[in-house]
A and B are shown apart, each in its own frame.
Chain A
Amino acid sequence: MTLTLDDAYSRALRRALVDHAAAHGVRRRARWRPALAVGAATLTAGTGLAAAVGAFDAPGSPLVQPLAGTVTVEGVGTQIVDLGVAPPGTTAIEVGLTCLTPGTFTGADGASLSCGPSDAGRATATWRLPASPGTTGTTIDAGPGERWRVTGAYSAVTTTEWGVNADGLTYGVANGRGTPDLLAVIATNGADGYVYSRDLTTPDPAGLQTGTFERRRLVLPVFEPDGKTQVGEFNVGG
């Protein structure tokens, strides 16, 4: 018997956290260009392991190809959103949800958007739902009288190949296939580049291939894809 968080509290907290994240997160206007959107976020964040991923449009990023036009549907309460039949090659739906009245609006995967009176018509959540050819749409769950607007577009998401430099080292962003030898980051000076991924995860200064520990902060050189030409620095922790 394992002790677990109470179900009712857990559900309420989950919803509150997801809403909080939606309200205090990065607004991504162009969800079908996620690598660029994440880059903007990490650039302002400055440092952190986070900046290592999806930092710019580097090899290994997801490539999102729109397969059909964007369909806009307005609805009230819980409703099926008819987006038409997904064409061959569909792997995802790019969803944008705007609340038109106060309420809590939940997508097919459990993601939800809660809106107060001042959010109506303004707060928008965007995300990607998995889908397959032949899908006819998605659903929105909302209370009676709660109005919403959804934009949906079928897309095919593929992952581009990592690059390989003259020394045979892979470079790009981490993805479902794993982590390349050189991981894309944005340096503290704003330059796009790569750090040696093994040096990001070592807790022991003696094991570092490049970079130094300065007090609690790991300072790594950021290179061109060749892994030799330095363009800046990348800090972890501290």
Chain B
Amino acid sequence: MTGDPQDEAALWRAVVGGDPAAFGLIFDLHKDRVFRHAVRWHGAGPESEDTVAVAFLELWRRRTDVRLVGGSVLPWLLVTTTNVVRNQARAERRHRRLLSALPRERAEVGADDAALSSVRLIDPTLRNALARLSPEDAALLVMLSFEDMSVADVAAALGITTQAVKTRLHRARARVRPLLDTTSAHDVEGVTR
């Protein structure tokens, strides 16, 4: 399976038509990227694995609402992952039965330190600050600051205009800045493409 957007768009059509095998292939394509996004919030523990599970369950549940960006579901999926993290307890209650059937025997995920250090984490100070934003503002701030998505892609994933993304980004930064120390403040600043 390649990352060819044409292939992914075709796969996604099959998923929307109810094809479980195609859904498995979409999982193969994006599971690691979604996991790394979850790790930014939770670290490399079981909580991040559960976030991946819930994000993909939400992808299936809401498959007729998903917006493809550049032929890919990934931007929508990352935004959804951020929302899952913010409401992790509620999201896990919804999918409790499936989560309880997944392997739990490992105390630690066992990622090696070199791999983990390649992921830029969202520190607790920033996490608390993001919790005060609306889900959409938190998602766009994180997508632009941590996932290196373009304004156009974030706009398409959220279903709002590029101008609205820029306006909200400005407002979101202004709201969280007073709550941050130097390190986490640096994380949410940056060029807006």
Contacts and interface: CB of A to CB of B under 8 A. Distances in A.
A111 interface: yes
Contact of A17 (B32, B60, B162, B163): B60
A166 interface: no
Contacts, number: 167
Interface size class of B (residues with CB under 8 A): 35 or more
A20 B98 contact: yes
B132 to A, nearest CB: 22
B161 A24 contact: no
Interface in B46-76: 49, 52-53, 56-57, 60-61, 63-68
Contacts of B124: none
Nearest to B52: A5
Interface in B137-183: 152, 155-156, 158-163
B16 interface: yes
B42 interface: no
A237 interface: yes
B56 A17 contact: yes
A3 B36 contact: yes
B115 interface: yes
A48 B119 CA distance: 34
A22 B102 CA distance: 18
Contacts of B89: none
B107 interface: no
Nearest to A34: B17
A80 interface: no
Given A34-B17, A50-B16, A237 B110 contact: no
A49 B67 contact: yes
Interface in B84-114: 98, 101-103, 106, 109-112, 114
Contacts of B24: 14, 17-18, 21, 110-111
A116 to B, nearest CB: 11
A6 interface: yes
B159 A176 contact: no
B109 to A, nearest CB: 6
Residue from A10, A20, A46, A176 with most neighbouring chain B CB atoms (10 Å): A20
Nearest to B154: A203
A6 B152 contact: no
Contact of B114 (A1, A109, A178, A217): A1
B110 A2 contact: no
A53 interface: yes
B161 A3 contact: no
Contacts of B155: 203-204
Given A24-B60, A218-B159, A237-B67, 16 more contacts: A1-B115, A3-B44, A5-B32, A6-B109, A14-B24, A20-B60, A25-B19, A26-B18, A45-B64, A53-B16, A111-B20, A174-B13, A201-B68, A203-B162, A204-B163, A205-B161
27 contacts: A1-B112, A2-B118, A5-B52, A12-B102, A17-B53, A17-B56, A18-B20, A20-B57, A21-B15, A21-B19, A22-B20, A37-B18, A38-B17, A41-B17, A42-B64, A45-B64, A50-B63, A50-B65, A50-B66, A53-B13, A53-B16, A111-B21, A201-B156, A203-B156, A203-B160, A216-B158, A237-B67
The list of the 9 closest CB pairs from A to B, nearest first, reads A26-B18, A111-B21, A237-B159, A25-B18, A21-B20, A50-B16, A45-B64, A38-B17, A48-B64
